[in-house]
Structure 1
Amino acid sequence: MADDKSKKDFRDRDRVSADEDYEVEYFATKAGITPQQVRELIAKHGNQRETLEREAKALGK
């Protein structure tokens, strides 16, 4: 099911949806990793943005 972009609140900002290509692409670009790596991180660590940012940073080392 696609995101309803007319409904925005805090809940949507602290997670990254692996089902939404635009969210994966944005996070990948921001973190300097590939979209496939983003999806792997989500599968392994969940979709909490804070956790994903930490793990993406660790990949870059």
Structure 2
Amino acid sequence: MADDLSKRGPQDRNRVNTSEAWELSFWSTKFGVTKDQLIAAVKAVGPMADDVRKKLGK
């Protein structure tokens, strides 16, 4: 199946994937934090977006 470029954002919007550079940029922009802050939050609480959001105080 070809890529659908009209769909933006991560495939699984419930998980923060710090392994992909574009997802790292997406989530750090969404949460308004640096990439390093995002990576530290994911390491602390895991990849679930709600947990990361709470950890970052957003």
Amino acid at match of 1:14: N
Aligned residue identity for 1:43? K
- 1:22: Cα distance to partner? 1.1
Alignment gaps of 5+ in structure 1: none
Q: TM-score, normalised by structure 1?
A: 0.68
Tell me the residue number matched to 1:28.
Answer: 28
Deviation at 1:42, TM superposition (A): 0.7
Which residues of structure 2 form unaligned runs of 5+? 5-10
Classify the secondary structure of the residue corresponding to 1:12.
Answer: coil
Residue 18 of structure 1 deviates from its aligned partner by 1.2
The residue number in structure 2 matching 1:19 is 19
> Which structure carries more helix by proportion?
1
Moved more, 49-58 or 27-36: 49-58
Alignment-derived partner of residue 46 in structure 1: 46
Percent of aligned pairs sharing the same letter: 24
TM-score by length of 2: 0.71
